[in-house]
Amino acid sequence: MVVERKSFLAEPEWRELPWSSAKGPESKAPFDHLVDILLDMPGLSHQRKAVENMTDPQQILAYSKANVVEGQRLESKLNDWLEGYKSTVPGALYHPELSKIDSTVDSPEAGKLFPVAFRFPAYIVAQSMVYYWVGLMSVQAHFCFTYNTISQLLTTLDSIGRDKLPCTCTCGPEDEGMSCCLQHFTMQMLPPLGHREDWPRTTAHNICQSVEYFFQDKLRGFVAARVLPALALVKGFLRYARGDWTREIAWIDEMLGRISASGNAVAGAIRVMG
């Protein structure tokens, strides 16, 4: 779903040609529009990794700020998509209910890790919201990782005497008000992280709380497997998040095992029936 480099499916001809004989891109279903946004997500990871290989402080700062701008663009597109999607679904997109599944990470002392699970009015709504949260989690984590890179850069420069660096406050208007000067740049020049900083307990948890819906008997094992990539991505991001997410990662591993076993069981039943 989200990989380091963009898929060929992100190219304009693959996004537009399949709908050229119909009414054009406007004929796309909301889920197709969401996929279009997600196809741009791999660029975030690729850009961050490019910064990791840089050694010039000025270049690190410039590329990191560009990463912030790209994150803002994708975050805005995701928010616009959600607002539009709400108008296509009668009623609430989802609602909370008490969870009906147990996990080995639950205990009387620690309590239930996810006491509440989400229910959706239809499978396509569930799939759309999980994909939306995956995209939003990717962007929010991208912001946090990028801000951490910039903060570490400034800390390193401060330790060697940043005030002795030459002033280069000559940015043009295209810099959107964010200083390019290593001597005078501060974290306050970046948009506040705000709620994005809580992504491990918000968007990442939302994805986990959606898993139970896919375990329903009527959806069967193959459908439950659709949430596998989303859970794997949550696990991957949590491994690099600040804080202790041992329980969450253990819970995800358990759910991945259950989904895999469920899919194998359905496949075996189909072979027997065949």
Summarize the confidence of residues 125-150 as an average pLDDT: 96
Question: Model confidence over 191-210: pLDDT tens digits?
Answer: 999 999 999 999 999 999 99
At residue 175, the pLDDT reads 52
Residue 240's contacts (CB-CB under 8 Å, 6 or more residues apart) are 141, 145
The domain in which residue 26 lies consists of: 8-273
Neighbours of 222 (CB within 10 A): 13
**Largest distance between two CA atoms of the chain:** 76
Predicted confidence (pLDDT) at residue 219 exceeds the cutoff of 90: no
pTM for the model: 0.84
Signed CA dihedral, 80, 83, 86, 88: sign only: negative
Percent of the chain topping pLDDT 90: 63
Q: Is residue 48 part of a domain?
A: yes
Q: What's the CA gap between 4 and 106, in Å, rounded?
A: 34
Q: Is residue 204 part of a domain?
A: yes
Per mean pLDDT, which range of 24-38, 65-79, 98-112, 209-223 is the poorest? 209-223
54 within 8 A of 98, measured Cβ to Cβ: no
DSSP the chain: ---SS--GGGSHHHHHGGGTTTT-GGGS-HHHHHHHHHTTTHHHHHHHHHHHT---HHHHHHHHHHHHHHHHHHHHHHHHHHHHHHTTSSS-S-EEEE-----TT-BTTTB-S--EEEE-SSHHHHHHHHHHHHHHHHHHHHHHHHHHHHHHHHHHHHHT-GGGSPP-----GGGTT----TTT--GGGSPP-GGGGGGGGTHHHHHHHHHHHHT-GGGHHHHHGGGHHHHHHHHHHHTTSSS--HHHHHHHHHHHHHHHHHHHHHHHHHHHH-
Predicted confidence (pLDDT) at residue 234 exceeds the cutoff of 60: yes
Summarize the confidence of residues 163-169 as an average pLDDT: 84
Q: Residue 77: pLDDT band by 50, 70, 90 thresholds?
A: very high
Q: Is residue 28 part of a domain?
A: yes
Summarize the confidence of residues 83-100 as an average pLDDT: 96
At residue 130, the pLDDT reads 96
Q: Is residue 190 part of a domain?
A: yes
Predicted confidence (pLDDT) at residue 181 exceeds the cutoff of 90: no
Average pLDDT, the chain: 84
Q: What is the CA 219 to chain-centroid distance, rounded?
A: 25
Q: What's the CA gap between 238 and 64, in Å, rounded?
A: 21
At residue 270, the pLDDT reads 31
Summarize the confidence of residues 217-237 as an average pLDDT: 79
At residue 72, the pLDDT reads 95
Q: Is residue 3 part of a domain?
A: no
Summarize the confidence of residues 30-54 as an average pLDDT: 90
At residue 263, the pLDDT reads 60
Structural tokens at position 91: 């009623």
Q: Is residue 2 part of a domain?
A: no
Question: Model confidence over 134-144: pLDDT tens digits?
Answer: 999 999 999 99
Predicted confidence (pLDDT) at residue 74 exceeds the cutoff of 90: yes
At residue 38, the pLDDT reads 93
Q: What is the CA 169 to chain-centroid distance, rounded?
A: 34
Summarize the confidence of residues 36-42 as an average pLDDT: 90
At residue 23, the pLDDT reads 53
Summarize the confidence of residues 238-242 as an average pLDDT: 94
Q: Residue 120: pLDDT band by 50, 70, 90 thresholds?
A: very high
Predicted confidence (pLDDT) at residue 11 exceeds the cutoff of 70: no
Q: What's the CA gap between 119 and 48, in Å, rounded?
A: 35
| Backbone torsions φ then ψ of 2, nearest 5 degrees | -125, 115
Angle between helices 246-273 and 203-214 (to 10 degrees): 30
At residue 225, the pLDDT reads 74
Query: How many structural domains does the chain have?
Result: 1
